[in-house]
Amino acid sequence: MNQVNTGAQVDVVSESDYRWNAIVRKDPAFDDKFFYGVKTTGVFCRPSCAARLPKFEHVSFYVTCEAALRSGFRPCKRCRPDETALRERQLLKVQQICELLDQAETIPSLLELAVHAGCSPHHLHRIFKCFTGLTPRAYAESGRNSWFFPRMSRRRSIKPVTRLADDFTIEATRFLA
């Protein structure tokens, strides 16, 4: 029986497949588009990984990092495929919370924000501070009460969330290292 399973293993039957070619070229353009596991080492990598090219017959392909993990592969210590995905997920959460705070009439509680982000309040507090340098409340108050909290009146100097991605990634890399 053929299972259609998004996020699971992808069948790559030939060495002319673009995914195999991306690995051969170590092409970073394909990073996070798919991942590959190497049966002989039990490790999975991003396409651009600097590790030695495995044999084609030992490689299996996955659409997501989670699918590779579910199949029993460990993340490569060199290209850290899981951390990229983790950072992206965290960044997305923080972006959503920033947007929520920008639009909120009253500042939601940390618990409400955590429910919105689908994680624990503690985790949200930690990743929000990691990416923005502020707690969610400080972020909200920095715009809302800038005349009252002059030291926090940084809202205007905060870059648009969409432009923060690179800075966030650098911060997160340092944080996660």
DSSP letters spanning 53-80: PPPGGGEEEESSHHHHHHTTPEEPTTT-
Piece of the chain touching Zn ion by CB under 5 A; list 3-11, 17-25, 40-48, 116-124: 40-48
Nearer of residues 49 and 101 to Zn ion, judged by Cβ? 49
Q: Is 45 in the site for Zn ion (CB under 5 A)?
A: yes
75 — phi, psi (to 5°)?
A: -70, 140
148: CB partners within 8 A, 6+ apart: none
Taking the complex as a whole, the smallest distance from the CB of residue 125 to Zn ion amounts, in Å, to 31
3-state secondary structure of 151: helix
Quick one: angle between helices 81-103 and 110-117, nearest 10?
130
Taking the complex as a whole, the smallest distance from the CB of residue 75 to Zn ion amounts, in Å, to 8
Q: Is 74 in the site for Zn ion (CB under 5 A)?
A: no
Q: Is 85 in the site for Zn ion (CB under 5 A)?
A: no
130 is catalytic: no
Q: How is residue 109 annotated by DSSP?
A: P
Q: Is 78 in the site for Zn ion (CB under 5 A)?
A: yes
Among 67, 69, 79, 114, binds Zn ion (CB under 5 A): 79
Residues 138-177 that bind Zn ion (CB under 5 A): none
**Antiparallel, parallel or unpaired: β 43-45 and 74-75:** parallel
Selecting among 45, 49, 98, 130, the annotated active-site residue is 45
The catalytic residue positions are: 45
